[in-house]
Structure 1
């Protein structure tokens, strides 16, 4: 089995972008939940992601949730994408999803952000989850630019969403009201997603950041 560690420096939105746009409804959904993103992979292939969390209010949860997420493909009645969280010697199954629907990492990302916010700020996790889901099919800013992947320039789409910008309950969110979701994607990266981040502003007392970044691919033998 061969493992390829990828050096990735995202420069999209930091330098001069190719152009900016607004995506809405189906266009946003089809970008974030792009189909066929696992079609080039084979049974036994693994995608490795690094999740790192910062939380000033509940640092113990950040320690608990920082680790690697491994997506592996397994053939059963259908080809399945299995997600596993790894933290040193500890491994925890996160679920299995039909590979035909695409990369389930975007759903895992949204679910973990909803859980983190509910644990930290209180409030209904169902309400938070629903607002995040609405953001993923609502409207968002998109910038096209470049990233460096192992010394080669690749095209990147970066989408920025603000799920609680107009929420009537903003004043109850204890620092999460201006949360941004930032998803960087590229056809040049296996599985489509380069990184998925949820970030509160620097002035926010909660000091929350969750970033899940693609770091490696392990090929089946």
Structure 2
């Protein structure tokens, strides 16, 4: 069974943004994505559902297209502001081993989806996952959050964080188009769990999509 370890949710957030500046009024990606108590409004037994879609221009390389779902079930943690999060990562034959995550205040979905993407690309291209992780870490550390309306939540404010970690990579000529990888995150305090979208895509020299994977908030029950 495959476990999610390279981007371990709590440890990843601490290591990723240790020492990041948050004194300015303009929000940083670290504050929006990793440092907010995204689960505080949820109670024991709440379940968050997310839709997942994967598409590619070359199924023989990236794998076949598919649609699936991800479920997070929240239970009380050891502290008043902490939660235990159980994960259903895809269904049937695509099921991944993930979690449970103990004593969480942030939503582990972001780390889960970064890990899923990283492991897929590392396996396909025999890339060093730690090299890729470092590039993503640096890009997010330096990113700003852009305000935008929250789709599906009326006029509630939201934020978008978008980075292209490999666009200036010194090895991009050997990256088979992965230098165009773009990571887009949308969040809103109005959404249960706050994360509303995680979209990852890469394009070829003509601008056509090589592959894209999109995870979206699909409801709470």
- TM-score tier, shorter chain, comes to 0.7 to 0.9
- Contact 2:56–2:64 (CA<8 Å) still a contact in 1? no
Q: Tell me whether 1:109 sits opposite 2:113 in the alignment.
A: yes
With over 3 angstroms needed to count, the CA separation of the structure-2 counterparts of 1:25 and 1:91, relative to structure 1, is same
* Secondary structure of the corresponding residue to residue 106 of structure 1: helix
Structure 1: give runs of 5+ residues left out of the alignment.
1-23
Q: TM-score, normalised by structure 1?
A: 0.76
In the TM superposition, residue 191 of structure 1 has moved relative to its aligned partner by: 0.6
Q: How many residues align?
A: 193
TM-score normalised according to structure 2 size: 0.76
CA deviation digits over 1:198-221, x for unaligned, max 9? 111363677110111101111xxx
CA-atom RMSD, angstroms? 2.6
Residue by residue, what CA displacement relative to the aligned partner does 1:94-121 show, whole Å, maximum 9, x if unpaired?
1122353310111112111211222333
Q: Are 2:145 and 1:138 aligned?
A: no
State the partner residue of 2:176: 174
Higher relative contact order (CA 8 A, sep 6+): 1
Task: Give the strand-richer structure, 1 or 2.
Answer: 1
Corresponding position of 2:123: 119
Asked if 2 retains the 8 angstrom alpha-carbon contact of 1:35 and 1:100, the reply is no
Cα distance, 1:57 vs structure 2? 3.0
Residues 118 and 97 of structure 1: CA distance in aligned 2, closer, same or farther (over 3 Å): same
Shift of 1:66: 3.9
Distance in 2 separating the partners of 1:92 and 1:74: 20
Rate the CA distance shift 1:77–1:148 in 2: closer, same or farther, 3 A: closer
Instruction: Check if 1:147 corresponds to 2:150.
Output: yes
Q: Which residue of 1 aligns with 2:85?
A: 81
| CA shift digits 1:101-143 (9 cap, x unpaired) | 3101111121112112223333212211222222222234x33
1:76 deviation in Å?
A: 5.7
Matched with 1:13 is: none
Q: Is the 8 A contact 1:161 1:180 kept in 2?
A: yes
> Could you tell me how far 1:38 is from its partner in structure 2?
0.3
Tell me what 2:34 maps to.
33
Q: Report runs of 4+ in structure 1 exceeding 6 Å deviation.
A: none
Q: Given the alignment, which residue of 100, 103, 111 partners 2:104?
A: 100
Aligned to 2:178, the other structure's residue is in SS state coil
